[in-house]
């Protein structure tokens, strides 16, 4: 059984340019201190296997001197993989880094300003120390680990942990709705989500998912009755999904709710702060904004059902957690003086259920990957790059159980009507 704490080869060794002189130049600018000099730099991998596929990350503690004395600053460096291969080829021409830089430098600071002016001190992002697109794509942040934040790895999140995450997302979404309503051009460049990956139409991981799913349905007796529904959509469901994902920019409707979504709202993109007095986590910081884009409010919520929630919550389509999210969303919209039509819970659920092609994509393509990696059956890069390994993930007991619970729910909600 693979160890999910192993690293890809390009995550083990820092690139040559990531050295003391580079960090010295970065910190001189950030600290506004031209005499700053890095005296020691310890660099280790920061992204465990399965945490980040769209980048590689390193952790460093930079010890440095200035005229004021000796100091140290823990940092996270996020960059593109150095090695040639599928991962680099797929991502090098994408908008991932420019999107994340815009999130850190424009969108999130504005969202925090809106919340602060309303008396809400919620932090939505960690300070960005440095960013560049040329000559290489790099973002450097302050490290959250010394501040008591950690990624939940070896145990499922508690209900309280998940509520923290959905409450934070709700405040993010609320602030973005106010910006969309009052400054419609402010976020217009956020148009590159997961569907805009360069290989979305050619990568076998994407294009073969539905076929593998249908093959699994055919071989599992109790699921065979659902096969005709997916046979009916297999040739055009990705095109239907594209319409859903690009709705804000191309097919906008007045009766829909739109936000700047996170775009990859799952557990490994969250860092939780532990409060020793409470004996529990008291805050969560969302990270990794490379897929953030303007889209229907349903994108983060539907994604979370499959990629964040525990099975029992997923089997109920996330009802309790999404209703919790909605209550915080509306309370925050009122607090910050949102001038648009206030969302209703019934319309939110109607919108979630109308965007069923995202459910079809997630259950057929991403859910087997998530379950395979989470259960330590396979490493992320194995499932994404090896078709034989990927095929095996469709027949894992945990995945078949999930599908057996979800498809009757789809049927009850009318997802198979009018395909």
Mean pLDDT by 10 residues, the chain (419 residues): 39 84 97 96 75 74 95 93 50 75 96 98 95 92 94 91 98 98 95 72 83 97 97 94 91 93 95 92 95 96 96 96 98 98 97 95 95 84 83 94 98 95
Of 307, 309, 316, 306, the residue nearest 349 (C-alpha): 316
Q: How many helices (H) and strands (E) does the chain have?
A: 20, 10
Strand 138-142: give its sheet, edge to edge: 37-45, 56-66, 69-79, 138-142, 128-132
65: cis peptide before it, omega within 30°?
Answer: no
pLDDT of residue 380: 78
Question: Are the beta carbons of 301 and 266 closer than 8 angstroms?
Answer: no
3-state DSSP assignment of residue 320: helix
User: What CA–CA distance (Å, rounded) separates 272 from 149?
Assistant: 5
The pTM assigned to this predicted structure is 0.91
3-state DSSP assignment of residue 272: strand
pLDDT of residue 12: 67
- Exposure letters 176-203 (e unless 16+ CB within 10 A, then b): bbbbbeeeeeebeebbbbbbbbebbeeb
3-state DSSP assignment of residue 234: coil
Of 95, 76, 84, the residue nearest 26 (C-alpha): 76
Of 286, 87, 105, 294, the residue nearest 205 (C-alpha): 87
Q: For 340-390, write each residue's pLDDT tens digit.
A: 999 999 999 999 999 999 999 999 999 999 999 888 878 877 887 888 888
Strand 280-286: give its sheet, edge to edge: 149-150, 270-275, 280-286
3-state DSSP assignment of residue 58: strand
Token duo for residue 209: 């998912």
Which contiguous run of DSSP H or E holds residue 395?
none
DSSP 16: T
Q: For 279-315, write each residue's pLDDT tens digit.
A: 899 999 999 999 999 999 999 999 999 999 999 999 9
DSSP 50: T
* β-pairing verdict for 138-142 and 128-132: antiparallel
User: What CA–CA distance (Å, rounded) separates 189 from 269?
Assistant: 22
pLDDT of residue 2: 32
pLDDT of residue 94: 65
pLDDT of residue 90: 46
Token duo for residue 253: 């409707």
pLDDT of residue 400: 97
- Please identify which residue in the block is written with the tokens 């139409």: 201
What structural domains and CATH numbers belong to the chain?
A: 150-413 (3.90.1200)
Of 91, 74, 73, the residue nearest 82 (C-alpha): 91
User: What CA–CA distance (Å, rounded) separates 287 from 264?
Assistant: 9
Residues in Cβ contact with 216 at an 8 Å cutoff, skipping those fewer than 6 apart: 223, 394, 395, 400, 403
- Phi first, then psi, for residue 304 (nearest 5°) are -65, -30
């Amino acid at each position: 059984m693979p160890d999910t704490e192993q690293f890809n080869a390009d995550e083990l060794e820092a690139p040559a340019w990531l050295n003391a002189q580079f960090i010295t130049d970065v910190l001189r600018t950030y600290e506004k201190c031209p005499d700053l000099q890095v005296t020691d730099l310890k660099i280790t991998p920061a992204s465990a296997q399965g945490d980040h596929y769209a980048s590689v990350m390193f952790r460093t503690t930079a010890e440095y001197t200035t005229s004021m004395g000796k100091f140290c600053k823990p940092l996270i460096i996020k960059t593109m993989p150095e090695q040639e291969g599928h991962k680099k080829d797929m991502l090098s021409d994408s908008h991932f880094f420019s999107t994340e830089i815009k999130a850190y430098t424009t969108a999130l600071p504005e969202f925090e300003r809106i919340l602060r002016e309303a008396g809400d001190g919620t932090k939505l992002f960690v300070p960005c120390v440095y960013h560049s697109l040329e000559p290489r794509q790099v973002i450097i942040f302050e490290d959250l680990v010394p501040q008591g934040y950690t990624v939940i790895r070896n145990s499922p999140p508690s209900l309280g942990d998940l509520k923290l995450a959905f409450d934070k997302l709700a405040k993010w979404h609320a602030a973005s709705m106010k910006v969309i309503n009052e400054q419609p051009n402010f976020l217009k460049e956020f148009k590159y989500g997961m569907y805009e990956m360069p290989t979305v139409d050619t990568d076998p991981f994407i294009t073969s998912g539905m076929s593998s799913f249908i093959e699994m349905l055919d071989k599992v007796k109790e699921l065979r009755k659902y096969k005709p529904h997916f046979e009916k959509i297999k040739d055009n469901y990705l095109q239907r999904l594209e319409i859903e994902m690009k709705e804000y920019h191309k097919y906008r409707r007045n009766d829909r709710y739109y936000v700047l979504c996170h775009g990859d709202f799952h557990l490994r993109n969250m860092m939780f702060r532990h409060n020793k007095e409470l004996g529990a986590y008291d805050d969560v910081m969302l990270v990794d904004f490379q897929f953030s884009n303007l889209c229907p409010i349903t994108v983060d919520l539907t994604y979370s059902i499959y990629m964040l929630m525990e099975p029992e919550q997923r089997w109920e389509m996330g009802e309790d957690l999404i209703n919790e999210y909605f209550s915080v969303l509306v309370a925050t919209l009122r607090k910050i003086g949102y001038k648009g039509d206030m969302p209703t819970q019934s319309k939110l659920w109607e919108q979630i259920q109308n965007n069923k092609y995202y459910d079809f994509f997630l259950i057929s393509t991403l859910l087997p990957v998530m379950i395979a990696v989470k259960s330590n059956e396979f490493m992320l890069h194995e499932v994404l790059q090896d078709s034989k390994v990927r095929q095996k993930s469709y027949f894992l007991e945990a995945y078949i159980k999930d599908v057996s619970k979800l498809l009757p729910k789809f049927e009850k909600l009318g997802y198979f009507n009018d395909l």
